[in-house]
Chains A and B, each alone.
Chain A
Amino acid sequence: GAVVSQHPSRVICKSGTSVKIECRSLDFQATTMFWYRQFPKQSLMLMATSNEGSKATYEQGVEKDKFLINHASLTLSTLTVTSAHPEDSSFYICSARDPRSAGNIQYFGAGTRLSVL
């Protein structure tokens, strides 16, 4: 399958700081990427759809000023958690849609575990 790289894999930060997470599609160009959050023993929750060259589409209940998404190129989307607080601690996972696939297959990055102290 296609390769999606996510960095960093783990972040520990102090409350009030901002954290940037990068998601790269390594062997294909992705006009659409997705950002998910997953709390322990719960399913993936879609936060937003990242569209190259345009504004991200946020799911209901997700604060766009809190979770800034930038998709400036066809291979890179970033998620910035601004002024992080302990309740933002979670597993953040990106995915990229492979345009070469027949059915809009999404491939996932390895995830970023964020711990806010």
Chain B
Amino acid sequence: QKEVEQNSGPLSVPEGAIASLNCTYSDRGSQSFFWYRQYSGKSPELIMSIYSNGDKEDGRFTAQLNKASQYVSLLIRDSQPSDSATYLCAVNWDDSSASKIIFGSGTRLSIRP
């Protein structure tokens, strides 16, 4: 059973602070990792993709990957109220018949003014 685990939250962070979102996955062979943001009533939108160990930065967002620990995280610097959403961690999974993305259940983030 391939699994992607996230803390459901809600995670409450003051405006301007750093929000840290964490995710673990069970398939040691996974090579591609993604963070999606989903606002209430909307579909997910891609924020970051990461494939190699280490950090990847894009604006206020930094994704961190540690394949040895099977751990991927997302940092949001200078958090804004507009960052309040559910953040979905997703991991690519390949088997003999298909390649698909497995999603975590999401972490609800709330940025308080």
Task: Give chain A's interface residues, CB within 8 Å of chain B.
Answer: 1, 6, 32, 34, 42-44, 46, 49, 57, 91, 93, 101-111, 113
Contact = CB atoms under 8 A, between A and B. Distances in A.
A51 to B, nearest CB: 9
Contacts of A43: 88, 103-106
B51 A57 contact: no
A110 B42 contact: yes
B51 A102 contact: yes
Contacts of B105: 42-43
A34 B34 CA distance: 16
Nearest to B51: A103
Interface residues of B, number: 25
A1 B46 contact: yes
14 contacts: A34-B101, A43-B106, A44-B88, A44-B103, A46-B100, A93-B44, A103-B34, A103-B51, A104-B32, A104-B101, A105-B46, A106-B46, A106-B101, A111-B42
A79 to B, nearest CB: 14
Interface of B: 31-32, 34, 36, 41-46, 49, 51, 88, 90, 92, 97-106
A15 to B, nearest CB: 24
A49 B104 contact: no
Contacts of B100: 34, 46, 49
A38 to B, nearest CB: 9
Nearest to A6: B43
B49 A103 contact: yes
B53 to A, nearest CB: 14
A105 B49 contact: yes
